[in-house]
Structure 1
Amino acid sequence: MTVQGATPSDLMLARMMALHPKIIDLTLDRVWRLLAALDHPERALPPAIHLAGTNGKGSTLAFLRAGIEGAGQAAHAYTSPHLARFHERVRVAGELISEPALTAVLDECEAANGGAPITYFEITTCAALLAFSRTPADWTLLETGLGGRLDATNVLDAPALTIVTPVSMDHEQYLGDTLEKIAFEKAGILKRGVPCVVGPQDDAALEVIEAQAARLGAPLLVHGQHWHVREERGRMVFEDEAGLLDLPLPVLPGAHQIANAGAALAALRHLGFGEAACEAAVTCAEWPARMQRLRRGPLAEAAPEVELWLDGGHNPAAGAALAAHLARLPERPTHLICGMLSTKDATGFLAPLAGAADSLTAVPIPGEAAALDPDTLAEVAARAGHAARTAESPAAALAAITDEDATARVLICGSLYLAGQVLRENG
């Protein structure tokens, strides 16, 4: 059956979903098999920076890309998940992959795979690496999808640098039920002799990362030891062994972005980039659905006086970061519109936000089988301390909020899938 409006790549991606193994098992065997059939595109990439972590890896990659491009160089970038279109995941030499180029590499990967079981993420990662291998660039930026040790991106023998952003509890069903187990999986991207920039970590996670680094002889550049970053008088101050940088605050809002920008600066400085690249990193980065202000589209037009925000964070650390950011904003009645997946720790995400919001409206996430139904999410929110209710959509929730206060602050949050839906309709 042909879906009206679907592109050739949409149809190919739908076919690839059908190849998914019946049991999800984290392994690199399927990836190695397909990469071999493609004549190993991972061996033909520009120098790579590989990022893992629970929170902040996408933002850190965005800061890195902005810094590299600010220095006049080009970077391939692979991120996930996408928000509105799959093409967002694959930037070839700085540009979103074109529909013809994406269709070509997907077709080649599908043919080389020969119908064998493989996950959607694995086969599309191979397609991205194939696209990168065929276009010149100065750098390759790779964000892990899940974990690190057995993630489909973990196929480079010797990246130029690795980065581990803050590790916290998430994806416990795959990565383990303790912070130490999760940190072990994230630290699986470390390579023998390859330096690793380490963002702020709980002591338990840092001990695991340090043990893995010692085993591999991988030099560490650790936040709080080898580099420091802080906000001071409305500026961002970064310090490492090379000296001090006095920079504007990161363009991506939120106090947590200072640490993410700091990790990117530590990486750029280690790789020899100068002050111009560092300033571009913090002033030119773009990363949608991370405390993104929505100023256009039907939602914004329906409530022109509302201060409307969007964020895709969905785990306890993200909830705490959002609460901290909301506390720093000028005082204003604040309301949450929230949709979440049943696979996430809804209580852990919502509890820190209870003191930062006047109400929470639970909404569905259409098309997502794992989405919590609004009634269930509202019950969880109420137990976490929220004045909770439900609505059939973000638009309906916003209308109810504005009926009570047309000048409120509204944050749509809880899921990247919900954020993607909102951006598709209001991008």
Structure 2
Amino acid sequence: MSDIADAALAYAGVKRIEWADRAMPVLRQIRERFAADRPLAGLKIAACMHVTTETAGLIRTLQAGGASVALAASNPLSTQDDTAAALAHEYGAAVYARAGTDRELYYRHIHQVLETGPDLVLDDGCDLINTLHTDRPDLLGTVKGGCEETTTGVIRLHQMVREGALWFPVVAVNDTATKRMFDNRYGTGQSTLDGIVRATNTLLAGRTVVIAGFGYCGRGLAERAAGLGARVVVTEIDPVKALDAALQGYRVLPMAGAAPHGDVFITATGNRDVIRPEHFAEMKDGAILANSGHFDVEIDVAGLAEAAVEVRRGVRPHADEYVLPDGRGIVLLAEGRLVNLVAAEGHPPAVMDMSFADQALTCAWLATAYPNLTPGVYEVPAAIDTEVARLKLASMAVDIDSLNAEQEDYLSSWQHGS
């Protein structure tokens, strides 16, 4: 049973999924291993993730491991209807996802995947886990554990732990080194700018790009924007991250100070109302606003609409212009949602190869480790992180050194002098 837009799109979805699979060699190797070992045999998995060709690779890997999978969309505007159709009609997953659904149907789909009574849950933003705890606590007793893919979701999970609200162990896949390095930094850096350029056809060279937040995503955005010739300004609330940005040569300002200078503004903080009406009031005519944080709360879209005297919808695909009383126009991309997944295709498959490899191996680990875990937020086991990096290097034909016996002895003993 699924709820998708058009089953006739399945063939087109299969072709796109197969294309993405070519660039995901690590996940392919894990899928072959899972098919032989069946580490997830008999388990039911409920997932709330972006319904994209890359996610299809993960779903197929979990199925190869013996799991039955029900998938809901973690963002209505990122859903690829052909991918949803292919997963439902060619690959045997239960899929509840349609592009452009409203909030009511979005949560109905989340409830539908929970109706399967999952053993494991995979989340991207914590909406699935939140709904499970608030609306379906009757199902909590059967859930053995879960994984969370995003910074925003991990923040929410830690809040749940502090309040004693989390009922089962959840692994913060977002925080593993391979995911942060490859997905957050290189994936977000490239795909966000890809979305902005597709939506606006803007030349970034010589423009001032203001990046709110200098975590792993913000660093990647700054590097890629600077590489394209942009002048980069960073806004931060964390003194250590702000210092890091300054020492890397970026100008660091409060958002109030950056607002008059920016040509393009990108939010990547995980918090709400990062760009507000007082900032809109200072922006240039034609300033472009884009969000790369998980939820559509980082830019105060309601405040922008209230300040505008006219909204020109669709001035370009995924671009709306808000005209202020003095005639200045501010261009909002993707309705304030994830610009890389709405106006572009999200991270390239080669990036998600590592993130979803982390997810798949962590699910297999949870399937046996859960009896020894108490409710809380856990890191991905170091051995999984190392294995994913090793497999990725091998797929890239990159060799590295190894320690000899004397070196291992030196590093493991405190008795060696200088």
* Higher relative helix content: 2
TM-score by length of 1: 0.34
TM-score (norm 2): 0.35
